[in-house]
Amino acid sequence: MSNVIELKNVDKSYTNSGFLKKTTCAHILKNISLQVEKGTTLGLVGESGSGKTTTTRMILRQEKPTNGELFYEGKNVEELTKEVEEEYRNNVQVVFQNPYSSLNPKMRVGEIIAEPLVITGKYNKEEIKKRVRSIMEKVGLAQDYVERFPSEFSGGQRQRIAIARALIQNPQLVILDEPVSALDVSVRGQIMNLLKRVQEKNKTTYIFISHDIATVGFLSDTIAVMYFGTIVEYGKTEDILENLRHPYTEMLISSDSVRNLSEAEEESGEIPSHYDEPKGCPFAGRCKYATDECRNVTPQLKDIGDGHKVACHNAESITLKSVVKINRRKPEYQI
Amino acid sequence: MNILEVKNLVSQLNTEDGVLHIINDVSFAVKEDECFGIIGESGCGKTMTSMSILGYSDRIGLKAVSGEILFKGEDVLKFSKKRLREYNGKEAAIILQDPMQALDPLFTIKDQMIETIRRHQKVSKKEAEKIMIETAESLSVAKEKLNCYPHQLSGGMLQRIVGAMVLSCRPKLIIADEPTTALDVTIQLQYLKLLKRLQKEYHTALIFISHDIKVISMMCDRIAVMYAGEIVETGTRDDLFYHPKHPYTQALFKATNIDGNIRERYETIDGAPPNLKEEIAGCPFAERCQYATDACISGKPEVVKINDEHTVKCRRIADE
Ligand SMILES: Nc1ncnc2c1ncn2[C@@H]1O[C@H](COP(=O)(O)OP(=O)(O)OP(=O)(O)O)[C@@H](O)[C@H]1O
Ligand SMILES: Nc1ncnc2c1ncn2[C@@H]1O[C@H](COP(=O)(O)OP(=O)(O)OP(=O)(O)O)[C@@H](O)[C@H]1O
Ligand SMILES: [Mg+2]
Ligand SMILES: [Mg+2]
């Protein structure tokens, strides 16, 4: 087993020191530890604002953690040699949550998609052209779009430009931040199938963020559920979706099955604030199982068996239910 | 009463390499108080149609060749600059698909929201601030986030802020272009409920664009299905979900993972949408349609009326 990426006890705070304003500090990521094995997918799910994108910023090294360490293939990224450093930059690709702002508006789409190949300096013009054409076809973009600029595309087409660019040079690790949110179901299916095929063929590793539970479940081997800057549940996809043990995971997954607005539960309890952190479990204010202990003592992420980790004082005592079924395994009677 | 009537709208885009046929004879009407849904493939012209309704065509280089867009009986395509300024934001407004296109990175959220509210409503700064905080809190955006700059917020927060900005101006017609793509399901439900509540309270008409069929079915009274710049089917929610007639609508629902369970592979619709460079002589879906005949490829299908609300553009249904 080899981990492509490992985060160990990563913290991230942002300090705001405005002129004539008092300095405030927001503690955005708290003690995040994650491992992603080669050729597998880690799914990140959680509430909007819980720190999923910030976690990927650490991995992309756009920002440094305030505390904690990041390892690439077992090596601390702060101590990489020049060559490995370069390899890392080439081999880690990303599809940003907001595709439009991440595409250079002055470049033609053909150039945008080809860029990661061009940077490696290993391919001639003909080869590059061929690969651009092939990946565009795979993501469902017409060939005559190559000369266009990003502003000349629809939301979903921009998202596919970003995906084509991220996949073109068979990277080792791809971070996909809501990569299919703007696509119709048919194109979404096409992209999801493509991602799976690419992974099977090239042993690509993915970190996949989505609010759509079914989409995350489709691709992920392991899932981390985030809430207010912490990981509240972490484990194999089957454990998280079918055998979930954290009340927030239950809430997230049961909201997914609501088919009628009037059956949606009225939201009670406040969203915790970064500037006035609650004592105890951050979810306690909204949790129907919360006890005094929850409101006073912050629960730690604990292994409850077989690598399934939960941060909840009541994990062993409450019974939660899941509404998702996984039909991924091929029927056993089939030869 | 219809607040909006789009009648036989045909719009084209002149580009470096020729004319693109973006909107091809689109007609639909939206009633006051109603939530009207639009679904369709990526790139079929949903955002372009919305921009036209808001009178932004000129700004994006889209030329209406024929047709009308009647807002309370007045043609938006004929609005003067002055009339357009009144209309935009105050009478009709859009929650943009990409939140960053609606926000200025150089100003705090608070400054931008208060400015927007006061541009459209005659209220004091204090009152505007109150409206802002109320709307933001009902979308679970913490108060202190309002003092932040856009880059300091998460994707879903930005999306909610942009929604809050439009809602707080209380326009008569709101177009929501995929307003919840970056929201987790819990917050999404909250957002949708708020949208529905405000729509009832202020008698707002809502056009809701989404790829999420579940969300569309929760929100909308009537739904239009768009394909390659045409509306191929319109009907009530029940008409469409239980009796879809157009082969594209049927294929779309078949590809939808309705029960939310996880499977081995996704269903897709074979083939690709047509090139918009050429005017399509027949049905735009014909090339991918399992029932297509020569007639489908060579000539436009008539609009067939199934009942008062349910219409479909398909020869096969017409011939039945
Ligand atoms: N530069 C920054 N300064 C201050 N706070 C920040 C900054 N960047 C992010 N944050 C805060 O960090 C928190 C987590 O943001 P992040 O973008 O990681 O959320 P997310 O889980 O990706 O949410 P979403 O699903 O909505 O995209 C948010 O509360 C956000 O406001
Ligand atoms: N400036 C432009 N130049 C050329 N083509 C354009 C331009 N802007 C948009 N298009 C094309 O117009 C078509 C309709 O775009 P539109 O943004 O309305 O799609 P959409 O239905 O909103 O799709 P999505 O669901 O992906 O957002 C697309 O095929 C797009 O490529
Ligand atoms: Mg994010
Ligand atoms: Mg669009």
Residue ranges of domains in chain A:
3-310
Give the minimum alpha-carbon distance from A120 to chain B in angstroms, rounded to a whole number.
31
Q: For residue B159, which ligand has an atom nearest its CA?
A: 1
> Residue A17: what pLDDT?
66
Burial track A234-263 (b if 16+ CB lie within 10 A, e otherwise) = bbbbbbbbbebbbbbbbbbbbbbebeeeee
User: Measured from the CB, is residue B48 less than 6 Å from ligand 2?
Assistant: yes
pTM: 0.94
Q: Is residue B78 included in any domain, yes or no?
A: yes
Q: In which domain, by residue range, is B231 found?
A: 2-82+210-319
CA distances from A12 to A49, A55, A63 (A): 14, 9, 9
ipTM over 0.85: yes
Distance A153 CA to ligand 4 centre (A): 9
Compute the distance between CA of residue A177 and CA of residue A99 in angstroms, rounded to an integer. 10
CB of B44 sitting under 6 A from ligand 2: yes
Which ligand is nearest the CA of B211, by number? 2
- In one-letter notation, the amino acid at residue B238 is D
Specify the range with the lowest mean pLDDT, choosing from A12-26, A305-319, B174-188.
Answer: A12-26
- According to DSSP, the β-strands at A302-303 and A309-310 are antiparallel
In this complex, do B264 and A186 lie within 8 Å of one another by their Cβ atoms? Answer: no
Q: Which residues of A touch B276 (CB under 8 A)?
A: none
CA of B122 to nearest chain A CA: how many angstroms apart? 30
Sequence-distant (≥ 6) Cβ neighbours of residue B214 within 8 angstroms: A259, B258
What integer pLDDT is reported at residue B320 of this predicted model? 76
CA-A151 nearest atom, ligand 2 = 1
B156 close to ligand 1 (CB < 6 Angstrom)? yes
Nearest Cα residue to A207 out of A232, A188, A183, A226? A226
Asked if residue A170 has pLDDT above 90, the reply is yes
Mean of per-residue pLDDT scores for chain A: 90
CA of B99 to the centre of ligand 4 (A): 12
What is the torsion angle, in degrees rounded to the nearest 10, for the CA atoms of residue B164, residue B169, residue B172 and residue B175? -40
Alpha-carbon separation of residue A157 from A95, A117, A164, B48, B229 (angstroms) = 13, 21, 10, 14, 15
Give a yes or no: residue B185 inside a domain.
no
Closest residue (by CA) to atom 31 of ligand 2?
A153
Alpha-carbon Rg of chain B, whole angstroms?
20
A26 lines ligand 1 (CB under 6 A): yes
Supply the pLDDT for residue B259. Answer: 77
- Residue B72 sits at φ, ψ, to 5 deg, of 50, 40
pLDDT score, position A334: 34
Tokens of B153: 């917020």
Q: Is B4 in the pocket of ligand 1 (CB under 6 A)?
A: no
Contact (Cβ atoms closer than 8 angstroms) between residue B118 and residue B139: no
Residue of A nearest to B262 (CA): A326
pLDDT of residue A329 exceeding 60, the answer is: no
Task: Please identify among residues 230-259 of chain A the ones whose CB lies closer than 8 Å to any CB of chain B.
Answer: 241, 251-252, 255-259
Contacts of A175 (CB under 8 A, 6+ apart): A56, A59, A60, A92, A93, A94, A95, A206, A207, A209
> Residue B40 maps to which CATH number?
3.40.50.300
**In the structure, what pLDDT confidence band is assigned to residue A18 with cuts at 50, 70 and 90?**
low
Q: Quote the percentage of chain B above a pLDDT of 70.
A: 100
Element (H, E) at B18: strand B18-31
> Which residues does chain A have within 8 Å of residue B103's beta carbon, measured at their own beta carbons?
none
Q: Is the pLDDT of residue A330 over 60?
A: no
**Other C-beta atoms within 10 Å of B307: how many?**
10
- The answer for A 258-317 residues in CB contact with B (under 8 A) is 258-261, 264, 267, 271, 273-275
Contact (CB<8Å) A185/B255:
yes
Identity of the amino acid at A243: N
* pLDDT greater than 90 at residue A331: no
As a dihedral over the C-alpha atoms of residue A237, residue A238, residue A239, residue A244, rounded to 10 degrees, the angle is: 100
Give the span between the Cα atoms of B82 and B235, in whole angstroms: 36
What pLDDT, on a 0 to 100 scale, did the predictor assign at position A333?
39
pLDDT one-digit tens code per residue, A62-118: 999 999 999 999 999 999 899 888 888 889 999 999 877 889 999 999 999 999 999
Confidence of residue B43 (pLDDT cuts 50, 70, 90): very high
Judge if the beta carbon of residue B14 lies within 6 A of ligand 2. Answer: no
Look at residue B296 and tell me if it is in a domain: yes
Give the closest residue to B186 by CA, choosing from A92, A60, A227: A227
What tens digit of pLDDT does each residue of B86-135 get?
999 889 999 998 888 899 999 999 999 999 999 888 899 999 999 999 88
Q: Residue A60: pLDDT band by 50, 70, 90 thresholds?
A: very high
pLDDT at A335: 34
- What tokens appear for A159 in the block? 């998202």
Query: What's the CA gap between B301 and B281, in Å, rounded?
Result: 10
Measured CA to CA, the distance from residue B231 to residue B221 in angstroms comes to 17
Q: Would the CB atoms of B260 and A252 count as touching at under 8 Å?
A: no
**In contact, A143 and B275? CB cutoff 8 Å:** no
pLDDT classification of A21: cutoffs 50, 70, 90: low
Q: Among the CATH numbers 1.10.10.1100, 3.40.50.300, 3.30.450.20, 3.10.310.70, which is that of A3-310? A: 3.40.50.300
Whole-number pLDDT of residue A268 = 59
- Whether residue B260 is predicted with pLDDT greater than 80 in this model: the reply is no
- Report the number of distinct structural domains present in chain B: 1
Ligand nearest to the CA of A51: 1
Whether residue A185 is predicted with pLDDT greater than 60 in this model: the reply is yes
Ligand 1 in contact with B155 (CB < 6 A)?
yes
Average pLDDT, integer, range A131-145: 95
